[in-house]
């Protein structure tokens, strides 16, 4: 099979619109010239609306992980205590990155289990320079309570560092309203740009934390980004074709409007959950309070008894649809359907239909159509 025909329904990289692909094949330009500067400014202006922030925004040539490291590496010193919240792989990654720069005071939940806000508060009461949160834990399909944790961070005078990699640009994120000092996102997720760039918003409070800090990372030195950002440039050579792609992708975001985009993402994920429910497939996340939610951008489901999530993934790939399995110790136990970026109802319905066929062949369901019907009902309002 020609893989160029595969429908990507992973939690990123997501399919990129043809006009974005075409934008990337423009001839190179001087990255220190006026044309690049105009493109940089245009991107930042749209991103301010996407992040809902008045903070500085920078674009890093590197993945979301690079932006996570920039956030922690520039603000956290060896003697600083940081509360790291973990209920999945990316929370764990934030903990690992933080451990290279400061002292970690981790709250390690079972993966997929929602946080107890009282426990979070107790951790903060022990004293913390910062707290890290993964807003949407892509590895387990849970949306963590960013607003509430922002409130707790503020009460305890801790910097709030948030991974919005799979929410910003698709889900309802309010950087300034929630008091997020540093928010990071990857290009290849909700914004439906090509992978390879990450965007980061930085508050004045976060910049103040950098003032007295020595030996910041070099490539990810946010002070250097601030300096060159003032000239609408990047401190080091940017990945020019990815900027062409990002700009076009952000124009699509702007044309749709963030409100519609957020609604579409929410409905698409709800449709996947409705289909799963109709087929009696269990959600993986354990939501124990009213502040956590199922993700609006990726749905993590338990693999049905006797079937490996990896086999479902493989069966789907043969049929031309790429979904995701579980990461680390969840490999085989879960499977995940991403519904982020420019995903349309027809993409969801095709994916559910193929999933039904796969599950019927594996004798988990006995007839086709129930999942599609449930999903279709949710998606109707988008048409």
* Nearest to a second copy of 152, 253 (CB atom): 253
Provide the pairing of β-strand 81-86 with 103-108.
parallel
Provide the pairing of β-strand 103-108 with 293-294.
unpaired
Chain center to CA of 127: 28
Q: What are the CA-CA distances from residue 243 to residues 12, 40, 58, 190 (Å)?
A: 18, 8, 12, 16
Q: DSSP characters for 191-260?
A: T-PPTTEEEEEE-HHHHHHHHT--S--STT-HHHHHHHHTTT--SS---HHHHHHHHHHHHHHHHH-HHH
> Least separation, in Å, of the C-beta of 149 and a second copy?
23
> Least separation, in Å, of the C-beta of 241 and a second copy?
5
> Least separation, in Å, of the C-beta of 278 and a second copy?
28
**SS3 state of residue 54:** coil
Residues 188-247 that bind a second copy (CB under 8 A): 188, 194-197, 215-220, 236-242, 245
> If 0-12 CB within 10 Å is exposed, 13-18 middle and 19+ buried, where does residue 1 land?
exposed
Chain center to CA of 148: 19
Q: Closest Cα partner for 68 from 43, 42, 45, 100?
A: 100
Residue 163: strand pairing partners:
134, 184
Q: Determine the interface stretch with a second copy among 20-28, 82-90, 251-259, 294-302 (rule: CB under 8 A).
A: 20-28
63 part of the interface to a second copy, by CB under 8 A: yes
Of the candidate residues 12, 145, 150, 169, the single one contacting a second copy (CB under 8 A): 12
Helix 64-75 × helix 222-229 angle, to 10°: 100
* Nearest to a second copy of 70, 268 (CB atom): 70
Binding characters for a second copy, 307-336, by CB under 8 A (x = yes) = ---------------x--------------
Q: What's the token pair of residue 194?
A: 């090509």
65 part of the interface to a second copy, by CB under 8 A: yes
> How far is it between the farthest Cα atoms of the chain?
65
> Least separation, in Å, of the C-beta of 188 and a second copy?
6
368 part of the interface to a second copy, by CB under 8 A: no
Of the candidate residues 106, 112, 170, 186, the single one contacting a second copy (CB under 8 A): 186
Residues 87-106 that bind a second copy (CB under 8 A): 96-97, 100-101
> Least separation, in Å, of the C-beta of 382 and a second copy?
23
6 part of the interface to a second copy, by CB under 8 A: yes
> Least separation, in Å, of the C-beta of 136 and a second copy?
16
Binding characters for a second copy, 25-44, by CB under 8 A (x = yes) = xxxxxxx-x-x---------
> Count of residues for the chain?
383
**SS3 state of residue 104:** strand
338 part of the interface to a second copy, by CB under 8 A: no
Residue count, binding to a second copy (CB under 8 A):
55
* Nearest to a second copy of 241, 332 (CB atom): 241
> Least separation, in Å, of the C-beta of 63 and a second copy?
4
* Nearest to a second copy of 29, 117 (CB atom): 29
Sign of the alpha-carbon dihedral angle for 208, 210, 211, 213: positive
Q: Determine the interface stretch with a second copy among 58-66, 175-183, 330-338, 366-374 (rule: CB under 8 A).
A: 58-66
Q: For residue 3, how many other CB atoms are within 10 A of its CB? A: 8
Binding site residues, a second copy, CB under 8 A: 3-4, 6, 8, 10, 12-16, 21-22, 24-31, 33, 35, 61-66, 69, 73, 96-97, 100-101, 186, 188, 194-197, 215-220, 236-242, 245, 322
């Amino acid at each position: 099979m020609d893989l160029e025909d595969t429908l990507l329904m992973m939690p990123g990289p997501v399919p990129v619109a043809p006009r974005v692909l075409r934008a990337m094949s423009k001839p190179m330009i001087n990255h220190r010239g006026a044309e690049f500067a105009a493109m940089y400014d245009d991107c930042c202006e749209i991103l301010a609306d996407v992040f809902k922030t008045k903070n500085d925004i920078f674009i890093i040539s590197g993945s979301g992980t690079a932006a996570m490291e920039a956030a922690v590496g520039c603000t956290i010193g060896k003697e600083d205590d940081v509360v790291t919240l973990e209920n999945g792989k990316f929370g764990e990654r934030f903990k690992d990155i933080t451990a290279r720069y400061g002292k970690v005071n981790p709250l390690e939940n079972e993966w997929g289990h929602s946080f107890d806000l009282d426990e979070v508060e107790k951790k903060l009461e022990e004293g913390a320079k910062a707290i890290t949160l993964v807003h949407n834990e892509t590895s387990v399909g849970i949306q963590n309570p960013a607003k509430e944790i922002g409130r707790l961070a503020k009460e305890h005078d801790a910097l709030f560092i948030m991974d919005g990699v799979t929410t910003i640009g698709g889900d309802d994120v309010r950087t300034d309203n929630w008091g997020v000092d540093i928010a990071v996102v990857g290009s290849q997720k909700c914004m439906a740009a090509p992978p390879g760039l990450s965007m980061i918003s930085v508050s004045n409070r976060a910049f103040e934390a950098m003032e007295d800090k020595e030996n910041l990372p070099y490539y990810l030195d946010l002070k250097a980004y601030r300096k060159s950002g003032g000239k609408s440039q990047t401190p080091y050579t940017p990945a020019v074709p990815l900027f062409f792609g990002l700009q076009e992708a952000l124009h699509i975001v702007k044309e749709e409007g963030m409100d519609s985009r957020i609604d579409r993402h929410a409905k698409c994920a709800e449709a996947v959950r409705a289909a799963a429910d109709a087929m009696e497939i269990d959600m993986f996340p354990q939501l124990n309070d009213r502040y956590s939610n199922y993700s609006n951008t990726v749905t993590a489901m338990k693999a049905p008894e006797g079937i490996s999530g990896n086999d479902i993934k493989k069966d789907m790939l043969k049929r031309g649809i790429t979904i995701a399995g579980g990461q680390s110790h969840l490999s085989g136990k879960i499977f995940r359907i991403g519904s982020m970026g420019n995903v349309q109802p027809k993409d969801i319905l095709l994916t559910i239909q193929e999933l039904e066929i796969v599950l019927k062949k594996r004798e988990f369901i006995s007839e086709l159509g129930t999942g599609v019907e449930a999903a279709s009902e949710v998606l109707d309002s988008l048409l």
